[in-house]
């Protein structure tokens, strides 16, 4: 083989077969949840502003209506502020329930005003009051009811749904990074589910001690820090036991799983803690520059972990230890330190996951995140990391986590029962692993022939 | 076996091989690594289904679709890597998968009686109650042979059975094979040790690149050189390349090194530009001594000096730091990470040197590896080829490359040519010569006496963990002389 033909390994599509599966799933659920949607977003806003400004005489009163806490309220607010800025004074905004609209109509009728039209969208457009304006208020019978033009769009691909998927999976996905590292060293960490609860109750307890609902942002930060660091230390201890005494990781982390769960209950006396300030939920529900924090966290941590695993010395050591610990040791790799390190990372990730989970639900309970370790392991394995160690990809794990989340979310949208969901998800995990094996052995046919 | 063809993705491993085996004969099957011997044997064992061609036994065409079918045709394969369950006893292994029962319960006593008969037939006294991992390699091999006999095999294939055996044990095995032949059992004997094949075989089949290149039934007058010529397809001039040694000052001095029973009070010196051979039987403490020097195990006592300065024998990492590197006896389990690429294996101990701004510069790693691919003549299909898919000789070269890049100047070769074919062996010898010519020091451990004699400037012989004797430079050592020292004279 000549030197020239040596080149960098190219990324083969097969390496990311799971990515293809994920895209296919998204496509499937998009098709299945395709529906006529009332318009929303900037386009709908400008369409409505146009209606209000140009198609309805500005001398008449115009109602801009939205249902509280829905997209239609957001739309109503944007349209209202735009038309006010354009100098229209006869517009009135009604955001609330059908009763609020009826009261507003009554008021206008009592005033003897003239209704030029109603601009509305989404849920509010379906209110019965609107249909019956001509019946109940004969004076307004000529008024026009305008809604943004409808469009065909899947429920699955709505921005709110995509964010829901991220929120559903962010905790599992972040912990799965640590688990990927552990599994690449041919280990396993069963303690992460309990560590979520422990981290959550530790951080919430610290916040409660430092003022509860009135605690400052610093107190919240300190609480999260305490939760993450304690779990990191517990992980380090687990890794130390595994590497120093060569005890099976399964047993060590099984023990720690029970100890951590016990500690979580002991910390709160069995109760959950919800005396937390608003800043506590900012971590998982807030936004930075318009982007949800959860998305930012996922991108940052996965980016960092990917570069760490593929482009640094320590990443290569982790793969080497999982590939053949004895050969790695005899090549000068600090095997024990590497093993302790990956369990510490797994603990830290579980700690962060606990803080996120508590922040998402605005409370910390010692019994939260039960069985999460199994979802985490499933995400890693579906992502193509082999339980026998030495191979696997962090980005594969991200894809694995999203496959699980997308399946759950898609089935929710289709109204499938939760029992059926659990059954299906389990089947998908087994199928995913089988497909991955088939890919490794060079094709379905070779795989089925068993050679 | 007739016109067997078997392809794997990208390779045609067998291009129509035919092979005839008669009752009560030993057929020597030889060929370089990659010639197709293993594939052919796997076809016979039912592990691979051939693309075309047929296998017939006693005139009857058989389809060996699975290992179970192959076994029921009374074919037994004894692989190079011992495949006994390490935690079961010899007896349990013997009857694994074909346990004998009486009224539904295991018939321990019956099994034991028959096991004893079998081992008696083989002339080996084996503790039937010992777990297999406690047995020596030779004993384990005997258990495998006994297992083949227990299943009433009429065709036994032995793949490199002597690779891990000492000379004494080899002699015993040869005697056993002679007995089996007398009992009418047909044996296919695969070995890189051509002397053994010449001594044992009634006929010889030579494979090269998936084809039969020679079939010889006239054994008398057949020479080793002729076999090598068939195997590599060209005449080979000399077995061990010559070199002019320029031996310098003492680099490594070992004093009173001990660890339990394995290594007792071992002292020696290794000079720059010198190849020091360590001869001895398997289990005489050669490998254990090497592991102590490298820090793979901890010594009970003893001191080691490097260039006159006492050094602590700590961990492999520290030994590597000092330029002392070990090419392990067992490349597959200890030398390489088989599921990783050749380049990654090469880079593993050298990553620090390739790091730029915290990131591993993979381009630089690649360039460095390519330089060794050229200078050591490593045959890889590409840098991402898995180390596990390389031939033995190329695996050894990858291990050597990783240490050379690390600036190793004291290299411990433990069985560097085990399981490596003739052509690649010669290349390894040339490399060793080149290393000492550059002033590096080489400690060469080998069970093959001709290799130790042919390659070493000086030889020490170990027995039962102690140095038994030393043959100085200038004295020409003979195999008998070394063997005499290696064997216990009181026996």
| The pLDDT of residue B113 | 84
Distance, CA of B302 to CA of B314 (rounded, Å): 13
| Nearest-CA distance A427 → chain B (Å) | 29
φ, ψ for residue B203, nearest 5 deg: -145, 165
Radius of gyration of chain B from its Cα atoms, rounded to whole angstroms = 24
- A8, A9, A331: residue with CB nearest B348: A331
Which CATH code fits B2-232? 3.40.50.300
SS3 content of chain B, % helix, strand, coil (to 5): 35, 25, 40
From residue A168, alpha-carbon distances to A2, A379, B93 in Å are 51, 13, 52
- A307, A323, A333: residue with CB nearest B340: A323
| The pLDDT of residue B257 | 93
Structure-model confidence comparison of residues B145 and B274, the more confident one: B274
| The pLDDT of residue A36 | 80
Per-residue pLDDT at B291 exceeds 70: yes
Q: Give the count of alpha carbons within 13 A of B378, CB side only.
A: 31
Range among A305-309, B188-192, B310-314, B364-368 with highest mean pLDDT value = A305-309
| The pLDDT of residue B323 | 92
Q: Where are the domains of chain B?
A: 2-232, 250-486
Whether the CA torsion A54, A57, A62, A65 is positive or negative: it is negative
- Is residue A115 within 8 Å of residue A146, measured between CB atoms? no
Per-residue pLDDT at B411 exceeds 90: yes
| The pLDDT of residue A220 | 93
Sheet with strand A91-96: strands edge to edge = A91-96, A61-67, A115-120, A144-146
| The pLDDT of residue A54 | 83
Q: Where are the domains of chain A?
A: 39-149, 157-442
Q: Is B11 at the interface with chain A, CB within 8 A?
A: no
Q: Which residues are CB-contacts of A122 (< 8 A; sequence separation ≥ 6)?
A: A38, A40, A66, A67, A70, A71, A72, A75
Q: Name the residue among B131, B127, B126 with its Cα closest to residue B87.
A: B131
| The pLDDT of residue A2 | 37
Strands (E), A81-200: 91-96, 115-120, 144-146, 151-154
Per-residue pLDDT at B346 exceeds 90: yes
Distance, CA of A266 to CA of A299 (rounded, Å): 35
| Nearest-CA distance B330 → chain A (Å) | 10
Radius of gyration of chain A from its Cα atoms, rounded to whole angstroms = 28
Q: Which of B66, B292, B338, B340 to mutate to test the interface with A (most CBs of A within 10 A)?
A: B340
| The pLDDT of residue B7 | 63
CB contact under 8 A, B49 and A451: yes
Q: Name the residue among A270, A232, A439 with its Cα closest to residue A347.
A: A232
- Confidence band (pLDDT; 50, 70, 90) for B224? confident
Distance, CA of A144 to CA of B87 (rounded, Å): 87
| Nearest-CA distance A311 → chain B (Å) | 5
Q: What are the pLDDT digits (tens) for B166-181?
A: 777 788 888 888 888 8
Q: Which of residues 316-345 of A touch B (CB under 8 A)?
A: 316-317, 319-320, 323-324, 326-334
CATH number for A157-442 (one of 2.20.25, 1.10.3470, 1.10.530, 1.10.10): it is 1.10.3470
Mean pLDDT of B197-226: 84
| The pLDDT of residue B327 | 93
Range among A350-354, B12-16, B216-220 with highest mean pLDDT value = A350-354
Q: Is A7 at the interface with chain B, CB within 8 A?
A: yes
* String of DSSP letters for B130-182: SBGGGS-HHHHHHHHHHHHHHTT-SEEEEESTTTT--HHHHHHHHHHHHHHHH
Q: Is B10 at the interface with chain A, CB within 8 A?
A: no
Mean pLDDT of B83-93: 82
Q: Which of residues 205-244 of A touch B (CB under 8 A)?
A: none
> Which DSSP helix (H) or strand (E) runs through A65?
strand A61-67
Structure-model confidence comparison of residues A176 and B9, the more confident one: A176
Would A39-149 and A157-442 be classified into the same CATH topology? no
- The fraction of chain B above a pLDDT of 70, given in percent, is 94
Whether the CA torsion B318, B250, B480, B231 is positive or negative: it is positive
- Is residue A146 within 8 Å of residue A282, measured between CB atoms? no
What is the mean pLDDT of each successive set of 10 residues along chain A, which is 451 residues long?
40 64 91 81 81 82 85 85 84 88 87 85 83 83 82 86 91 96 96 96 94 87 96 97 92 96 94 90 87 93 95 94 92 94 97 95 92 93 88 92 93 91 88 75 59 43
Q: Name the residue among B39, A253, B51, B482 with its Cα closest to residue B29.
A: B39
Distance, CA of B424 to CA of B430 (rounded, Å): 10
- A7, A324, A449: residue with CB nearest B337: A324
- Is residue B46 within 8 Å of residue B65, measured between CB atoms? yes
ipTM of the complex: 0.76
Q: Is A11 at the interface with chain B, CB within 8 A?
A: no
Q: Which residue has the tokens 């020596």?
A: B136
From residue B48, alpha-carbon distances to A282, B75, B238 in Å are 60, 14, 38
Q: Is B423 at the interface with chain A, CB within 8 A?
A: no
Q: Name the residue among A246, A241, A119, A132 with its Cα closest to residue A191.
A: A241
Tokens at A52, concatenated: 């209000």
| The pLDDT of residue A6 | 40
| The pLDDT of residue A444 | 59
| The pLDDT of residue B490 | 43
Is 3.40.50.300 the CATH classification of the domain at B250-486?
yes
Strand partners, B203: B27
| The pLDDT of residue A190 | 96
* String of DSSP letters for B112-125: HHHHHHHHHHHT--
Q: Name the residue among A19, A326, A369 with its Cα closest to residue A186.
A: A326
- Confidence band (pLDDT; 50, 70, 90) for B3? low
Strand partners, B325: B411
CATH number for A39-149 (one of 3.30.300.210, 3.40.50.2300, 3.40.50.300, 3.30.1330.60): it is 3.40.50.2300
| The pLDDT of residue B1 | 64
Q: What is the 3-state secondary structure (H, E, C) of B228-286?
A: HHHHHCCCCCCCCCCCCCCCCCEEEEEEEEEECCCEEEEEEEEECCCEEEEEECCCCCH
In terms of DSSP bridges, do strands B203-208 and B2-8 run parallel, antiparallel, or are they unpaired? unpaired
From residue B370, alpha-carbon distances to A181, A280, B160, B331, B364 in Å are 30, 55, 32, 21, 10
| The pLDDT of residue A440 | 66
Q: Which of residues 200-259 of B touch A (CB under 8 A)?
A: none
| Nearest-CA distance B323 → chain A (Å) | 12
């Amino acid at each position: 083989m000549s030197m020239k033909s040596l080149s960098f390994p190219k990324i083969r599509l097969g390496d990311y077969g799971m990515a293809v599966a994920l895209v296919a799933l998204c496509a499937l659920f998009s098709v299945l949840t395709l529906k006529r949607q009332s318009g929303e977003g900037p386009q709908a806003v400008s369409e409505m502003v146009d209606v209000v400004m140009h198609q309805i005489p500005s001398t008449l009163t115009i109602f801009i209506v939205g249902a509280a806490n829905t997209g239609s309220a957001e739309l109503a607010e944007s349209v209202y502020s735009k038309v006010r800025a354009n100098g229209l004074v006869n517009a009135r905004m009604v955001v609330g329930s059908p009763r609020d609209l009826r009261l507003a109509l009554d008021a206008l009728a009592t005033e003897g005003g003239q209704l030029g039209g109603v601009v509305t969208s989404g849920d509010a457009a379906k209110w019965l009051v609107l249909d019956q304006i001509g019946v109940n208020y004969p004076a307004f019978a000529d008024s026009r009811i305008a809604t943004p033009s409808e469009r065909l769009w899947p429920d699955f691909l709505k921005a709110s749904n995509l964010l829901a998927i991220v929120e559903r999976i962010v905790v599992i996905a972040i912990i799965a990074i640590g688990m990927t590292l552990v599994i690449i060293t041919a280990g396993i960490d069963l303690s992460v589910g309990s560590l979520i609860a422990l981290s959550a109750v530790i951080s919430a307890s610290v916040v409660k001690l430092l003022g509860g609902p009135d605690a400052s942002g610093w107190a919240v930060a300190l609480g999260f820090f305490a939760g993450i660091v304690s779990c990191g230390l517990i992980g380090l201890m687990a890794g130390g036991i595994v590497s120093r005494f060569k005890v099976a990781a399964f047993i060590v982390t099984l023990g720690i799983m029970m100890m951590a769960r016990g500690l979580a209950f002991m910390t709160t006396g069995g109760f959950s803690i919800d005396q937390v300030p608003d800043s506590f939920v900012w971590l998982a529900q807030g936004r930075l520059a318009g982007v949800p924090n959860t998305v930012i966290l996922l991108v940052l941590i996965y980016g960092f972990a990917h570069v760490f695993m593929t482009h640094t010395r320590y990443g290569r050591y982790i793969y080497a230890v999982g590939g053949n610990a004895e050969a790695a040791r005899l090549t000068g790799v600090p095997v024990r330190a590497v093993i302790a390190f990956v369990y510490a990372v797994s603990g830290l990730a579980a700690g962060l996951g606990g803080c996120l989970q508590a922040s998402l639900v605005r409370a910390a309970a010692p019994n939260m995140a039960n069985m999460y370790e199994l979802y985490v392991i499933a995400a890693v394995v579906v992502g193509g990391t082999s339980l026998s160690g030495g191979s696997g990809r962090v980005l594969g794990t991200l894809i694995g986590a999203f496959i699980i989340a997308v399946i759950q979310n898609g089935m929710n949208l289709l109204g499938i029962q939760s029992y059926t969901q659990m059954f299906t998800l389990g089947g998908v995990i087994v199928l995913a692993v089988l497909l991955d094996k088939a890919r490794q052995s060079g094709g379905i046919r070779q795989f089925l022939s068993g050679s | 076996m007739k016109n067997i063809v078997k392809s794997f993705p990208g390779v045609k491993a067998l291009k129509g091989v035919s092979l005839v085996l008669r009752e009560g004969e030993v057929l020597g099957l030889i060929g370089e690594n990659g010639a197709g011997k293993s594939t052919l044997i796997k076809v016979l064992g039912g592990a691979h289904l051939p693309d075309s061609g047929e296998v017939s036994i006693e005139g009857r065409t058989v389809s060996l679709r699975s290992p179970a079918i192959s076994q029921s045709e009374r074919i037994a394969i004894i692989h190079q890597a011992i495949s006994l369950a390490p935690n079961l006893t010899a007896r349990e292994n013997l009857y694994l998968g074909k346990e004998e029962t009486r009224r539904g319960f295991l018939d321990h006593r019956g099994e034991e009686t028959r096991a004893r008969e079998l081992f008696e037939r083989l002339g080996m006294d084996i503790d039937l109650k010992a777990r297999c991992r406690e047995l020596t390699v030779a004993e384990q091999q005997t258990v495998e042979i006994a297992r083949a006999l227990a299943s009433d095999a009429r065709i036994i294939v032995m793949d490199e059975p002597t690779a891990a055996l000492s000379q004494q044990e080899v002699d015993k095995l040869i005697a056993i094979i002679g007995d089996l032949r007398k009992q009418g059992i047909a044996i296919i004997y695969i070995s890189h040790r051509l002397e053994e094949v010449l001594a044992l075989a009634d006929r010889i089949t030579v494979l090269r690149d998936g084809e039969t290149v020679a079939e010889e039934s006239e054994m008398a007058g057949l020479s080793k050189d002729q076999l090598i010529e068939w195997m590599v397809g060209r005449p080979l001039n000399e077995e061990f390349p010559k070199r002019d040694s320029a031996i310098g000052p003492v680099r490594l001095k070992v004093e009173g090194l001990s660890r339990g029973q394995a290594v007792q009070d071992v002292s020696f010196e290794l000079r720059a530009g010198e190849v020091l051979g360590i001869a001895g039987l398997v289990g005489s403490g050669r490998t254990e001594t090497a592991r102590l020097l490298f820090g793979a195990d901890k010594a009970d006592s003893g001191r080691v000096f490097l260039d006159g300065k006492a050094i602590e024998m700590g961990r492999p990492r520290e030994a590597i730091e000092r330029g002392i590197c070990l090419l392990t006896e067992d490349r597959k389990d200890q030398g390489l990470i088989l599921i990783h690429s050749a380049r990654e294996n090469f880079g593993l101990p050298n990553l620090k040197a390739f790091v730029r701004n915290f990131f591993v510069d993979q381009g630089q790693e690649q360039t460095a590896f390519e330089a060794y691919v050229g200078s050591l003549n490593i045959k890889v299909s590409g840098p991402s080829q898995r180390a596990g898919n390389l031939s033995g000789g190329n695996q050894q070269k990858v291990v050597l490359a990783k240490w050379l890049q690390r600036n190793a100047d004291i290299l411990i070769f433990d069985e560097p040519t085990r399981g490596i074919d003739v052509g690649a062996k010669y290349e390894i010898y040339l490399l060793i010569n080149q290393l000492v010519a550059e002033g590096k020091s080489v400690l060469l451990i080998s069970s093959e006496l001709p290799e130790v004699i042919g390659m070493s400037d000086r030889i020490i012989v170990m027995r039962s963990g102690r140095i038994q004797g030393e043959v100085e430079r200038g004295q020409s050592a003979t195999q008998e002389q070394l063997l005499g020292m290696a064997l216990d004279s009181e026996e």
